Chains A and B, each alone.
Chain A
């Protein structure tokens, strides 16, 4: 339909319109490409930081510690213990023994102590993955020139050791175990608070609440709370859990802790603060899941004379449970990644022991990332990158299981 008799008054503008259409189509596509590029850049950047060359110097030459020609890493546990005893001050030695007696430690653990306390490697250079791959020779030359005594290794900052070692101030031996356990303990209390109350509220709003003013206010309030910035929850947690309820959250009331070091900045406070934060999310998701249960199921139950709670407990909840669980997993996923509220509540900056009670001081994985990112030295950036990978893997697993759960049970209907 190219050469047409143009209708009077109208222009033959189809080509121009199509050209405009093509141009904007490309612009819209470009927007999505930008989003994809951003994600790829993010991933690559993290990977880039988590691997690469490290140059480090030992403060004390390991060769000087050889006994009878046996290099230090091959020595037996007893030899290593003797080494420690001879070189460390008695106070330091006793402290180590009190934390965990040497008889209970493995050879690898004692050797680690020797490395930490005696050899004390010091980092003199860190390079990211890309430079390590492309400029390997220049790096070697630079290190040979500036730090002739240094060792140059290509490392992955993310190793299994990294995950199981506790946090220390030495970058080469730091690990995220403390942080991971802290996160787990915190999430435990988050769920303890948010799940029952959240589920209860959802059941109330969907099954019991009539459409009156109070209930509408409650619903609106929950929707609003979902949009409150997370740091506000941190401030709330600081004021209520850490300060006002200090006796409770620090464990003083139960007489379990040393009063001189006890304060409200504990796992309990952290968990509950995050619990308040994710409460609206759990409620809204559970409401949706409950709402999706077909009316016919409820009718069938009422029809045989069951009470409301019997109906809810035996029919509605089991039917809605996959959706409720999915929502809970998503809420947990959100809570694990939260940093700001916990900084305000008071995560500890330098703890190296694992949390072992609700009243322990705490740090979490995102906080650990924050602290390492905030230090200027390059090696801490690498540690941060490695911990980010750990965090992302945890979150990915959680979200994948939520999606699997959703898919597996949505096929039923």
Chain B
């Protein structure tokens, strides 16, 4: 199975009729999404409707917790990432993730990035790699003199940028972000949002957020998720360019949500 990781495919990630199960419980149902390359796609919706679950399907993180399974298809550059011969390690190498609560390794700032690239066989100049990644994450100037301090000694916002630096150090094609700024103060949040604008030049970003204004500020495309009629599973009820979603939503429920009639 050959993989093309260039712009052969306009859509980096696609889902076809995706259902996600926890055991026999269907948490997410019937999702059909196309994530465009080098764009920021936001997934919004009230809490509990499966946004994070959906996001974690894209890099097979959900299977770390027992008993999750899917029906339907998730493809990466046209390839089914759930095919039998696909190694999840390889998937996560290509599709990175940044979590809600910053989780740097309890190692030095330098080592956070160095370890990550080392396990993937990086043989080049480590100093260059570390500096490069930290530059891209807009963190270099703040930490360049204390690279050997623990990653945990940084502030919340800095830690999150360190996690972003770590994620991009192995040059993934996609960065998944699960509410990356929700644990941060407004100034740190702003820094992260500015960073996203820069990052999208080289990476495709999918971001889950419960902050509608953030989605409106940051993303090019937005997927609106909500619980189905029987209030049992979540599904994407509308998916469009962001400005259309916020100015002229097709679904009344979307309109209610983005205008704040319910949260």
Contact = CB atoms under 8 A, between A and B. Distances in A.
Given A7-B171, A10-B170, A1 B90 contact: yes
A4 to B, nearest CB: 5
B202 interface: no
B47 to A, nearest CB: 28
Interface residues of A, number: 15
Contact of A18 (B87, B94, B122): B87
A20 B129 CA distance: 26
B109 interface: no
B3 A1 contact: yes
Contacts of A4: 3, 5
B2 interface: yes
Which DSSP category, helix, strand, loop or mixed, fits chain B's interface? loop
B122 A10 contact: yes
A14 interface: yes
A91 interface: no
A9 B85 CA distance: 25
Contacts of A2: 1, 85
Interface in A1-51: 1-5, 7-14, 17-18
B122 A14 contact: no
Interface string B1-26: 11111100000000000000000000
Interface in B1-58: 1-6
Contacts of B123: 9, 11
Given A11-B123, A14-B89, A5 B5 contact: yes
A10 B5 contact: no
Contacts of B120: 10-11, 13
B121 interface: yes
A11 B122 contact: yes
Given A14-B87, A18-B87, A3 B122 contact: no
10 contacts: A1-B79, A2-B1, A3-B3, A4-B3, A5-B5, A8-B171, A9-B122, A10-B120, A10-B121, A14-B87
Given A9-B129, A11-B123, A12-B121, 16 more contacts: A1-B90, A1-B91, A3-B2, A3-B3, A4-B5, A5-B6, A8-B171, A9-B123, A9-B124, A10-B121, A10-B171, A11-B120, A13-B121, A14-B87, A14-B90, A17-B89
Interface of A: 1-5, 7-14, 17-18
